[in-house]
Amino acid sequence: MTLTANTIAKATLTAIEAASFLPLAAQAAIKGKADIDSAKAKGAAALAVMVAGFASDDIASRPWAFDINGKDGVHDHVRCTGLNEFGNDDLAWKRNSEGAVSKVAQTAYKTALQSAFFNLPESNAAVWTMASKAVAMAKAIREEGMIATIESGELKLTGGTTDRAKAMTDAKSLSALAKVAKGETGSNRATPSNEGAKDDGRLATPAEIMALAARLVEGAAKGEEALSNSALSFARKIAALVAANPDAFADD
pLDDT string in tens for the chain (252-residue length): 577 777 777 778 787 877 777 778 788 888 888 888 888 888 888 999 999 999 999 999 999 999 988 766 557 889 999 999 998 888 888 888 788 888 889 999 999 999 999 999 898 998 999 999 999 999 999 999 999 999 888 899 999 889 999 999 999 999 999 999 888 654 444 344 444 434 444 556 777 788 788 878 877 777 666 677 667 778 888 888 888 877 777 765
Q: What is the structure's pLDDT at 98?
A: 81
Which residue(s) pair with 73 in the sheet?
70
Question: What pLDDT, on the 0 to 100 scale, is given for residue 156?
Answer: 92
Helix, strand, coil percentages for the chain (3-state, nearest 5): 60, 10, 30
Nearest to 48 by CA among 130, 116, 123: 130
Q: What is the per-residue pLDDT for 137?
A: 93
Question: Helices 206-221 & 193-200, crossing angle to 10 degrees?
Answer: 140
Q: Distance between CA 200 and CA 179 in Å, rounded?
A: 17
Q: Are strands 73-81 and 147-151 parallel, antiparallel or unpaired?
A: unpaired
pTM of the model: 0.63
Going by DSSP bridges, is the β-strand pair 154-158/147-151 parallel, antiparallel, or unpaired? antiparallel
Of 180, 99, 108, which Cα lies nearest the Cα of 140? 180
The predicted pLDDT at position 202 comes to 54
pLDDT score recorded for residue 22: 73
Backbone angles phi, psi at 185, to 5 degrees: -125, 95
